[in-house]
Structure 1
Amino acid sequence: MIVAVIDSGVADHSDLSGSVLPGKDFTDPAGSGRTDIDGHGTAMAGEIAAHGRDESGALGIAPDAKILPVRVLTRGKFKGDLGSAVSWAVAHGAKVINISLGGGITSNMFTALKAAEEANVVVVASAGNLPDDRRITAPAFVPSVLAVGAVDRGGNRDAISTTGSALDLMAPGTDIMSLGLNNGYKAATGTSDSSAIVAGAAALIRSKYPELSAREVVDRLESTAVDKGAPGVDPEYGHGVVDIIAALSVGTSATTDQPSANPSTGANNPPAGSSPFATSRAVAPTTRSMGSSSLLFGSATVLAILGGLAAFLILRRRRSRSD
């Protein structure tokens, strides 16, 4: 399963060895998307598809996925057209596209997203972070895009996560540990991480149920989400908090016969001066002991939300001291 990460590029990391395809660099004609001086894109790729190494390292949500890096950012600054990046990703085989960034909207972006929808591609984007983003940002507010907000350790909306009628789904976004530059690791909080987690979930569903359309994949994620806030779809939680186990386990009829009762149709106007990164604050790593393993998500709600699929989350496995 090919997942395009439209971001700041993806740097070399042993936990992604063999999982990153040659991509496209819209900031440098000579590049291939394999350069990342910011680290944001590498972190998103890790949350989606890190596969660890030996008895250490990290595991992403969909460790068998292939990452297609599409670089449109340098140090938080757009230098490439997002619409062109989406079009390129679709043309080069992406079945899921993650866009953990936000900004302005162009006619080219609308055209590209429409083409992605017609090409049966799931597009996931971060909803945006307060206070930089005052409402659901572009491209997340586009109806065909799955807009994802962040929940905290208690499974409640993180204060950083924007709200609005275009919000579709929530996922863990507080103290998320992922890959860093120079073969390292880092933690951050924001809807960028939530988006990457949901993109990984979409990749898992598309791998298990290849016959499902992109719309059916989204419906499956929405209809199996854990309802939070006001009953039903609401501007604070959308359809609710993602439940990957339920989305993977329920029969195919859950999507074809029981689609989400209220698919996203909202489209807010993009805010002026939106920040390009949805992750706007870094945090110190928090380790939760799990026997010989350590869950680096720092978000206790992950286990409740994702159940047994915690084994696929970002884990750092350590040999016991007796080895």
Structure 2
Amino acid sequence: MTRATARRRRTASALMALALAGGTLAAGVTAAPAAHADAWRDKEYWLAESGITKAWEVSKGANVKVAVIDSGVDGQHPDLAGVLAGGVDVSGAGSPDGQKSIGAKPEHGTLVATMLAGRGHQPADATATPSPSAGPSAGPGAGPDGIVGVAPEAQLLSVSTWLGSANPGGKSDQDQIPQAVRWAVDNGARVINISLGSTSPEWPQSWDAAFLYAEQKDVVIVAAAGNRGGGNIQVGAPATIPGVLTVAGLDRNGTASIDSSSQGISIGVAAPAENLIGGMPGGGYADWAGTSGATPIVAGVAALIRSKWPEMTASQVVNRIVSTAKDAGAPGKDPLYGFGVLDAEAALKADVAETRTNPLGSISDWIRVHRRGNLATSPAAAAATPSSAAPTLPEATVPVAEPPSELDGAVPALVVLGFGGLFLCILGAAVFQLRRAARLASAEGPDGPRNPDAGVRDSVNSGGKP
């Protein structure tokens, strides 16, 4: 086995552990009937504390599609009525519309979807008309029962994947993820929510083309940082991909969560990740925790921004979210909070300077430098998945990476020359010292130096000459 083959297998092994990031369910999972759902709505503390209810004064996410790449979304959940605008299965093991709950955590996608774009449902007493703008603090009868998402007027695309266990459909995560991203882009997603992660910071080269494609099509990708409780001490792919808005998790006190978050330099912003609630397939609700739940909070805010400013670029959306975040932890950007704690109200109302660059980097630049212009694509990534939904963006084409510049190509040579010169200097100095020691030893007699000036001459003969 070659070193390169071994590395690929190690990377593949790590990515086969790709799992839905931190969908840790509490013991209190229940399929509570609709009559008791208002108690669940009242638990959505993040809507007020993260500034989301104030942000609703500006936008609720109308006319924006958000793709949820997850374990499938149950569109029959009462809080998701009318929310799904399409879907697909890329695993080969789910339903064509992506609404079958599959994988090791089949409930995961519905939990994410309800937090992102839930609309609640008609109260059991029918004394009030449901209004997605009414938050949990509005009081009984003032809004819908059930869960109201961060972007309650956005539409969702469900892209189901089989992760966390052996896929009966036969496709690995290395095939599913790029195919899911490309399908989402081609079917009109302006934001993509990826609440999954791996134990490896590296990603297979087969992913490059899909994430570059999303960047070129101006799509915001939001991904979970992963959880220490799930074994992710450091952020893993795809949250390490440049340009992706990576979300860390906060505990109920607003500090970095010990269990429901990880750390890394790619983190962009932090959001609540403990004491969360979400909808379950079949109409129930559950308490849960993890950056899987923090991610749709941030993705929902991205949808609010894209709804308010449809012409704003993905880079500007990301910049608006991170630049208005409340600094926490070490001053400035840090590996626990990124740029800070999410402030949805500021993200929708503050004056933010325009930028042409994504503060979290660019996959295009990364490919150009690190892949040396060699962009590999897998057939699964390049092929379009059949769908009943008409593409709303131009037909997919396999992007080509820019060739490396002459300066980029000179970097490895300069590094080699630099280290080579340093090595020669060290070697020369060592030889000089050895020869000097030998001369001193030969000049030394029983009662002292035979020639008291020998050492002086040696120090003057710095070139090591005899």
TM above 0.5:
yes
CA RMSD across the alignment: 2.1
Task: Tell me, yes or no, if the aligned pair for 1:166 and 1:264 is still in contact at 8 Å.
Answer: no
Pairing 1:116–2:214 present: yes
| 1:68 matched residue in structure 2 | 157
| 1:177 matched residue in structure 2 | 277
Distance change (3 Å), C-alpha of 1:77 and 1:101: farther
- Give the C-alpha shift of residue 123 in structure 1: 0.1
Distance change (3 Å), C-alpha of 1:202 and 1:128: same
Work out the CA distance in 1 between the residues paired with 2:233 and 2:117.
Answer: 30
Match of 2:347 among 236, 244, 247: 247
- The percentage of aligned residue pairs carrying the same residue is 41
Task: Tell me, yes or no, if the aligned pair for 2:316 and 2:355 is still in contact at 8 Å.
Answer: no
Q: How many residues align?
A: 264
Match of 1:7 among 60, 70, 76: 70
The answer to which structure has the higher helix fraction is 2
- Give the C-alpha shift of residue 10 in structure 1: 0.2
Task: Tell me, yes or no, if the aligned pair for 1:227 and 1:240 is still in contact at 8 Å.
Answer: yes
Aligned amino acid, residue 155 of structure 1: G
- Give the C-alpha shift of residue 257 in structure 1: 6.3
Task: Tell me, yes or no, if the aligned pair for 2:182 and 2:214 is still in contact at 8 Å.
Answer: yes
- Give the C-alpha shift of residue 21 in structure 1: 2.1
Aligned amino acid, residue 23 of structure 1: G
* 1:218-243 deviation digits (Å, cap 9, x = unpaired): 00000000100000001111000110
| 2:113 matched residue in structure 1 | 45
Query: 3-state SS of the aligned residue for 1:256?
Result: coil
Query: 3-state SS of the aligned residue for 2:267?
Result: coil
Distance change (3 Å), C-alpha of 1:202 and 1:134: same
Task: Tell me, yes or no, if the aligned pair for 1:8 and 1:75 is still in contact at 8 Å.
Answer: no
Work out the CA distance in 1 between the residues paired with 2:252 and 2:314.
Answer: 30
More displaced 10-residue stretch of structure 1: 21-30 or 160-169: 21-30
Task: Tell me, yes or no, if the aligned pair for 2:316 and 2:356 is still in contact at 8 Å.
Answer: no
More displaced 10-residue stretch of structure 1: 150-159 or 30-39: 30-39
**Structure 2 regions of 5+ residues with no counterpart?**
1-63, 124-144, 367-466
Task: Tell me, yes or no, if the aligned pair for 1:150 and 1:190 is still in contact at 8 Å.
Answer: yes
Distance change (3 Å), C-alpha of 1:203 and 1:19: same
Query: 3-state SS of the aligned residue for 1:168?
Result: strand
Aligned amino acid, residue 187 of structure 2: H
Structure with bigger gyration radius? 2
Work out the CA distance in 2 between the residues paired with 1:196 and 1:122.
Answer: 13
- Give the C-alpha shift of residue 77 in structure 1: 5.6
Distance change (3 Å), C-alpha of 1:7 and 1:255: farther
**Structure-2-length-normalised TM-score:** 0.54
Work out the CA distance in 2 between the residues paired with 1:17 and 1:237.
Answer: 35
Match of 2:248 among 128, 149, 169: 149
**Structure-1-length-normalised TM-score:** 0.77
Work out the CA distance in 1 between the residues paired with 2:164 and 2:118.
Answer: 23
More displaced 10-residue stretch of structure 1: 147-156 or 32-41: 32-41
| 2:258 matched residue in structure 1 | 159
* 1:69-125 deviation digits (Å, cap 9, x = unpaired): 001126666655101110110011000000000136222212111110110000000
More displaced 10-residue stretch of structure 1: 186-195 or 214-223: 186-195
Task: Tell me, yes or no, if the aligned pair for 2:218 and 2:314 is still in contact at 8 Å.
Answer: yes
Query: 3-state SS of the aligned residue for 2:246?
Result: strand
- Give the C-alpha shift of residue 9 in structure 1: 0.3
Pairing 1:224–2:324 present: yes
| 2:13 matched residue in structure 1 | none
